């Protein structure tokens, strides 16, 4: 109805005005739409779509820094397939993404439920929770670097004072310690985002549902499982899709804390592609590693999106 009125009003205006050509450009909605889309489209095509295609093309060439590449087919991929470092980086990336995402989700949901209580100083606490997400990753990663220092780590020192350990923990020097340390730093940064967005979802759950469930004698767990969780699934699907995506492609945290070391134990695909392409100059090979991330990303998006959405359908709700 409103649409129709608008269209009539617009058509009416065409009777007046200047030359037909100008009229067409300024009031035909398709033309006007094209003009309005122009700046955004220019940015996205020039600096997003074109590089994306160029990246896939580069991965099939032997380009180096300062030298355009020749088409070499799938040679880069074949080489990477036999490359132990690349395989290790795939393993690290999957481990990093799975462990960090699962814990971020669990802790984030728990924190959101805690924050949903009626607390004193509620506004301040909720604002403070988000600070790790505001501070640039590199700067907080540097703080973690200091916390993880091999010699002067306050964590090691405190544990030694409590007589829980006898010598300092080598957080970033030992392969598995380093993996858990970077995973912890990633969780630390991601939890606030998950918690605050889920909190926003929690606040849309109508209180009458909780009251009805309580009157029916539901336990706390039953209320969570059968009221809160089903209503929250759509927003969980979106939040976790984003979380998985950004964890999988993480670069800054690893680069600041370990640069992929020790002995490549924390190299993710993103850091390895930087090291090979920019550090080593093998643009084609780096582009192949970056392109190899795309199928994983698509799989991760599809799993977290449809996996969680299907549950909503099963419960017979509209899926938005």
Partner 1 sequence: MTDTLVPKLAQPKAVLTGSSAAADHSEGMSYLETLPRRIVTVYLPLTVILIVLLFPFYWMALTAIKPDEQLLDLDTYSPFWTWTPTFKHIYKLLFETNYPRWLWNTMMIAVAATILSIIASVLAAYAIVRLRYRGAQFVGGAIFLAYLIPPSILFIPLSTVVFQYGLFDTPFALILTYPTILIPFSTWLLMGYFKTIPFELEECALIDGASRWQILLKIVLPLAIPGLISAFIFCFTLCWNEFIYALTFISSTQNKTVPVAIVNEFVDGDIYRWGSLMAGALVGSLPLVVLYAFFVEHYVSAMTGAVKE
Q: Which of residues 159-188 bind partner 1 (CB under 8 A)?
A: 188
x/- map, 102-121, partner 1, by CB under 8 A: -----x--xx--xxxxxx--
Q: Which 8-state DSSP code applies to residue 68?
A: P
Site for partner 1 in 55-74 (CB under 8 A): 55, 58, 63
Q: Is 309 a binder of partner 1 (CB under 8 A)? A: no
Query: In sequence order, what are the beta bridge partners of 67?
Result: 64
> Is-contact 284 76, C-beta < 8 A?
yes
Instruction: Name which position in 15, 18, 84, 134 contacts partner 1 (CB under 8 A).
Output: 134
Site for partner 1 in 272-301 (CB under 8 A): 273-274, 277-278, 283, 286-287, 290-291, 293-294, 297, 301
Distance, in Å, from the CA atom of 130 to the CA atom of 29, rounded to the nearest integer, reads: 42
What is the chain's percent helix, strand, coil content, to nearest 5?
Answer: 75, 0, 25
Q: Is 19 a binder of partner 1 (CB under 8 A)? A: no
Instruction: Name which position in 77, 79, 224, 251 contacts partner 1 (CB under 8 A).
Output: 251
Instruction: Name which position in 22, 25, 102, 125 contacts partner 1 (CB under 8 A).
Output: 125
Q: How far is the CB of 280 from partner 1 (least distance, A)?
A: 12
Return the SS3 of 308: helix
> Is-contact 184 103, C-beta < 8 A?
no
Distance, in Å, from the CA atom of 96 to the CA atom of 109, rounded to the nearest integer, reads: 19
Instruction: Name which position in 256, 258, 275, 312 contacts partner 1 (CB under 8 A).
Output: 256
Distance, in Å, from the CA atom of 223 to the CA atom of 146, rounded to the nearest integer, reads: 43
Place of tokens 């990663």: 141
Site for partner 1 in 143-162 (CB under 8 A): 143-144, 146-147, 149, 152, 154, 157
């Amino acid at each position: 109805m409103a649409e129709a009125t608008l269209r009539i009003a617009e058509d009416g205006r065409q009777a007046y005005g200047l030359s037909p050509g100008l009229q067409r450009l300024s009031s035909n909605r398709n033309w006007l739409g094209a003009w309005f889309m122009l700046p955004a489209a220019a940015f996205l095509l020039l600096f997003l779509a074109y590089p994306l295609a160029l990246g896939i093309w580069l991965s099939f060439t032997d380009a180096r820094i300062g030298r355009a590449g020749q088409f070499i087919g799938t040679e880069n991929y074949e080489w990477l397939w036999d490359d132990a470092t690349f395989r290790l980086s795939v393993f690290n990336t999957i481990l990093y993404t799975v462990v960090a995402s699962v814990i971020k989700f669990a802790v984030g949901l728990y924190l959101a439920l805690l924050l949903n209580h009626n607390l004193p100083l509620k506004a301040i606490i909720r604002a403070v929770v988000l600070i790790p997400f505001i501070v640039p990753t590199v700067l907080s990663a540097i703080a973690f670097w200091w916390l993880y220092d091999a010699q002067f780590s306050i964590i090691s020192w405190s544990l030694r004072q409590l007589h829980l350990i006898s010598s300092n923990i080598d957080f970033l020097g030992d392969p598995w310690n380093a993996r858990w340390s970077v995973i912890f730093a990633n969780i630390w940064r991601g939890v606030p985002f998950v918690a605050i967005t889920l909190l926003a979802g929690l606040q849309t759950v109508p209180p009458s549902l909780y009251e009805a469930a309580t009157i029916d004698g539901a336990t706390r767990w039953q209320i969570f499982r059968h009221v809160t969780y089903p209503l929250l699934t759509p927003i969980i699907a979106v939040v976790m899709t984003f979380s998985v995506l950004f964890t999988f492609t993480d670069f800054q945290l690893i680069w600041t804390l370990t640069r992929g070391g020790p002995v490549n134990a924390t190299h993710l695909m993103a850091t390895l592609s930087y090291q090979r392409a920019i550090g080593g100059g093998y643009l084609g090979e780096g582009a192949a590693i970056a392109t190899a991330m795309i199928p994983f990303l698509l799989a991760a998006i599809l799993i977290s999106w449809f996996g969680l959405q299907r549950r909503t359908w099963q419960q017979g709700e509209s899926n938005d």
